[in-house]
Chains A and B, each alone.
With several copies, the nearest count.
Chain A
Amino acid sequence: MNVFENKKGKIILLKMVKTIQENKVYLGDLDGLIGDGDHGMNMNKGFSLFEKRYCKNDFSFTDGLKNLGMLLMNEIGGSMGPIYGTVFIGMAEAGENLETISLEDFSKILEAGYNGLMEIVEARAGDKTLVDTLFPTLKSLKTDVVLGVDFVVALDKMKAAAKQGSESTKDMVARYGRSSRLGERSRGVLDTGSVSCYLILAAMADGIKEILKEL
């Protein structure tokens, strides 16, 4: 199949929650290297609270994103509240009227999230933030839409792009956020936000693939 049903999307959110929970310590340690060490903890707190509050019931992909985004924004704060809050709410709003979601739809949904983020942060690709994950991921999706690539294949390529994007932060010097004050000392270490963003996007891709496979 080349579309998935929005209302089946809970599994995607569950995968996102799980990957954050499993990587809580890793993300915190990464943040400790050039930041303040709270990234894993905060992400875990937000995503776990989402799980606790919403995952007893079923929900669609976009409703899940909306609730997760609102929760991060309104209850978690930090940098991740507004950042992932904006991304997820932007994605949710772009897709909430869709019953089925195609590769093109998904690409547009992610683009909406990305555009929302661009309104609130100054960081751009190359600044050693999660933008370095988000931007190439979106680019990969958009290219594959144009090329008419199969959804599952596009999702695998998207994962690879996200991973590569995240890894590209290693050689960068931070220009925004807490580690930006380090200058050259920030080089050589992955940006923790780019890693959590990769994990989330990979979980999203895997979740969608699972729904696509079911059919």
Chain B
Amino acid sequence: MVQRILNDPDNIVDEMISGFLKTHKDIVEATENNRVIKAKNIPKDKVGIITGGGSGHKPAFIGYVGKNMCDAVAVGEVFSSPTAMAFLDAAKAVDQKKGVACLYGNYSGDNMNVKMAIKMAIKQGITIKSVIANDDVASAPKNQREKRRGVAGEILMWKIGGAKAAQGGNLDEVIAAAQKAIDSTRSVGIGLSPCTLPAAGHPNFEIKPGMMEMGIGHHGEPGMEICSLKTAKEIAEKMINIVIPDYPFKEQDEVVVLVSGLGATPVMELYVLYNEIEKLIKTKNIIIYKAYVGNYFTSLEMKGATLTIMKLDQELKKLIDMPAYTMGLKQK
């Protein structure tokens, strides 16, 4: 028996969308495709920013629709890619003949569906270009970066891509900025307890009490290592030691740090973890320009956290500083 608030697990995504639209009337609106949500009052003549992904990651993905971030999102079942049709309809909903940037995460379902959507879009005279987030260091060795998953780094990619489009960048410039953002970004996740798919009756996998999983994916994909549960300080060290050398981030680099909970870890603990991460980054003489801490990209009710670091240059700095107004990220 899963302790959940729901009606029929098969309808959870549609009901969630309905509740979301009712709550955030000022930010989002429905489209003809009930699996596509778009921003209200999209500024004229700009490149459209779309994304899409499985449900169960709130605020991602629909929580990042709004001012200066995504213009439309394709919504999939829990942990499943949206359909090609939904990606296509998202593009159609925001296309202003300036082209559409589809900024999404590297999962085989999403890859296939986006590819198909792009093919269909071409037939309809819409240009979609895409950037595939692959920030999750733990998911493949560095020489196979193209295999790495996209995780919370996607949020920074949307922030940068959305801001570039808002500035009036053309499609290639938007794509280049988003690509630079994700290329400058590295993440890693740790899991402390599993999640349960609403339609399944039992946890997806197991993490034994007293243990933790390093490098877990945000669908609970198994990580690199199962080890005994460490202190916040030790966890921070482990995460930092995976993320920093991979890029590598170096002395005097200015970075954005994003610590996201996976759903059920009290936010209090995320601040405790960030407190340690900040100290370690300082020790390395890396400069934290901005930090985000909270439940930004979750995995249902998993316990755990992800660490994401993005290296900034002058352009990225300006773009990260632009205001944003979405359910998941509001910034002056």
CB of B197 within 8 A of CB of A81, answer: no
- Chain A residues contacting B79 (CB-CB under 8 Å) are 36-38
**Interface majority SS on A: helix, strand, loop or mixed?**
helix
CB of A78 within 8 A of CB of B200, answer: no
- Chain A residues contacting B165 (CB-CB under 8 Å) are none
Cβ of B51 within 8 Å of any chain A Cβ, yes or no, is no
Flag B71-91 by CB within 8 Å of A: 1 or 0 each. Answer: 000001111111111100000
Cβ of B272 within 8 Å of any chain A Cβ, yes or no, is no
Closest to A75 in B: B83
Cβ of B16 within 8 Å of any chain A Cβ, yes or no, is no
A81 to B204, CA, bound (A): 22
The distance from the CB of B82 to the nearest CB of chain A, in whole angstroms, is 5
A121 to B77, CA, bound (A): 21
Cβ of B10 within 8 Å of any chain A Cβ, yes or no, is yes
- Chain B residues contacting A35 (CB-CB under 8 Å) are 219, 221
Task: Report the interface size class on chain B.
Answer: 35 or more
The interface-forming segment of A11-19, A90-98, A173-181, A197-205 is: A173-181
Cβ of B169 within 8 Å of any chain A Cβ, yes or no, is no
A37 to B202, CA, bound (A): 10
Number of residues of chain A lying within 8 A (CB) of chain B: 35
The CB with the most chain B CB atoms within 10 A, among A28, A33, A75, A78, is that of A78
CB of B221 within 8 A of CB of A79, answer: no
Cβ of B220 within 8 Å of any chain A Cβ, yes or no, is yes
- Chain A residues contacting B148 (CB-CB under 8 Å) are 181
A40 to B80, CA, bound (A): 12
List the interface of chain B (C-beta within 8 A of A): 10, 54, 76-86, 107-109, 112-113, 115-116, 138-140, 147-149, 197, 199-200, 204-205, 217, 219-222
A42 to B148, CA, bound (A): 24
Selected from B10, B54, B86, B219, the residue in CB contact (under 8 A) with A45 is B10
* Known interface pairs A38-B197, A45-B10, A79-B109; A178-B219 also in contact (CB < 8 Å): yes
- Chain B residues contacting A34 (CB-CB under 8 Å) are 221-222
* Known interface pairs A37-B220, A180-B147; A77-B80 also in contact (CB < 8 Å): yes
Selected from A78, A83, A177, the residue in CB contact (under 8 A) with B77 is A78
Complex A-B: 16 CB contacts under 8 Å: A28-B199, A32-B200, A32-B204, A35-B219, A38-B77, A41-B200, A76-B83, A77-B80, A77-B81, A77-B113, A78-B76, A78-B80, A78-B109, A82-B84, A82-B109, A82-B113
Selected from A37, A41, A77, the residue in CB contact (under 8 A) with B76 is A77
- Chain B residues contacting A81 (CB-CB under 8 Å) are 81, 83-84, 109, 113
Selected from B77, B147, B204, B220, the residue in CB contact (under 8 A) with A42 is B77
Q: Which of A49-87 contact B (CB under 8 A)?
A: 73-83
